[in-house]
């Protein structure tokens, strides 16, 4: 498959400062993978199609960039760096009938492992920095990128109590990363459904998402509920390996392999368990303290009605009958 926002090696080399003599078709699969994962899946099909159409009209590479073409260039920077990062392990070897062999010649010497890892780290840093710039650019120009602002991907982000990476970072440091925030959005939604709605009730919790909260409702949200939601979400994201810890901060788990995660994370399995327990305890304490605050100020939360507890049905398997009974 070929990427739709990059067609030539010159476009790749504009963003990746390495000499590449391979034909474009050699790296196309990796560019395509990066384009789909980090651009199309993130901004939605309609906005992606609009960028492709804008790219087709960009015939003068030296023309001054307006808002939409600048968005295309930022997308190309993401695709180039992360695409080449994806391809490095395969491009460094030859795969044939004799198995996997290292690419080398009389005039070249293979890089040491630490040099290869440094290059990969640099590509990853450049790629995700560009991704932050790309998403920020789209968010700063809603009129020009209306498909993104109307997409299910973006609307889902605006449906939670914490709606932005910068707001999330106030309660747990993800370095303001929009990409990390969007990757853990499904977990945030799950914590809301399983925890926040259960203790606060669906209607009341939804009312707390309204813009312009003031008074004690704002205090309840900012000082108790948001911190609890953020901490519980990070705890789940760690155990599900969506994110990892690097330098004491949350970072997106790019590699997705536990051995690599373990190497890049300054914590053993036991330490990670302790971290999760602390996150869970602190998160639940914020929420329980918030409930105490709510109960102590009933006149300011007249629309709050404690949810009616429901006993879950307990199913026991009868091994003799092979059926389930209550």
Q: What tens digit of pLDDT does each residue of 214-254 get?
A: 999 999 999 999 999 999 999 998 887 766 655 444 555 54
> Measured between alpha carbons, how far is residue 21 from residues 12, 96, 141 in Å?
12, 21, 37
The torsion region of residue 260 among left (phi > 0), alpha (psi -120 to 50) and beta comes to alpha
Residue 315 has pLDDT above 50, yes or no: no
- The confidence band for 301, taking pLDDT boundaries of 50, 70 and 90, is very high
Report pLDDT for 1: 80
For 18, residues 6+ apart whose C-beta sits below 8 A from its C-beta are 84
Report pLDDT for 317: 52
> Measured between alpha carbons, how far is residue 322 from residues 28, 122, 314 in Å?
54, 57, 16
Q: What is the average per-residue pLDDT within 89-97?
A: 55
Report pLDDT for 262: 44
Instruction: Centre a 10 Å sphere on the Cβ of residue 51 and count the other Cβ atoms it contains.
Output: 25
pTM exceeding the 0.85 threshold for the entire prediction? no
Report pLDDT for 278: 93
* Model confidence pLDDT, tens digit, residues 171-213: 998 888 888 888 889 899 999 999 999 999 999 999 999 989 9
* Model confidence pLDDT, tens digit, residues 122-168: 787 888 889 889 999 999 999 999 999 999 888 888 899 999 888 99
Helices and strands in the chain, H and E counts: 17, 6
Write down the mean pLDDT value for the chain.
81
């Amino acid at each position: 498959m070929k990427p739709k926002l990059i067609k030539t090696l010159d476009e790749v080399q504009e963003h990746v400062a390495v000499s590449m003599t391979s034909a474009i078709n050699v790296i196309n699969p990796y560019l395509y993978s990066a384009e789909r994962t980090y651009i199309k899946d993130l901004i939605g099909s309609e906005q992606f199609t609009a960028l492709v159409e804008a790219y087709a009209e960009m015939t003068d590479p030296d023309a001054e960039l307006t808002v939409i073409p600048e968005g295309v260039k930022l997308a190309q920077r993401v695709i180039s760096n992360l695409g080449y990062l994806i391809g490095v392990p395969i491009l460094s070897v030859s795969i044939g009938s004799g198995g996997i062999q290292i690419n080398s010649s009389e005039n070249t010497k293979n890089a040491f492992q630490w040099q290869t890892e440094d290059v990969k780290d640099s590509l990853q840093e450049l790629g995700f920095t560009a991704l932050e710039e790309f998403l920020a650019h789209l968010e700063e120009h809603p009129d020009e990128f209306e498909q993104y602002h109307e997409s299910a991907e973006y609307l889902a982000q605006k449906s939670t109590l914490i709606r932005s990476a910068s707001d999330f970072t106030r309660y747990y440091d993800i370095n303001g990363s929009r990409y990390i925030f969007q990757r853990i959005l499904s977990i945030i939604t799950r914590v809301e459904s399983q925890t926040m709605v259960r203790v606060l009730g669906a209607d009341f919790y939804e009312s707390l998402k309204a813009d312009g909260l003031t008074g004690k409702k704002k205090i309840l949200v900012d000082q108790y509920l948001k911190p609890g939601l953020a901490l519980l979400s990070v705890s789940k994201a760690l155990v599900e390996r969506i994110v990892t810890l690097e330098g004491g901060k949350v970072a997106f788990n790019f590699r997705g392999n536990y051995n690599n995660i373990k190497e890049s994370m300054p914590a053993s399995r036991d330490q990670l368990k302790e971290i999760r327990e602390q996150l869970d305890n602190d998160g639940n304490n914020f929420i329980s303290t918030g409930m105490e605050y709510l109960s102590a100020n009933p006149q300011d939360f007249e629309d709050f009605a404690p949810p009616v507890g429901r006993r879950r049905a307990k199913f026991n398997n009868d091994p003799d009958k092979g059926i389930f009974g209550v």
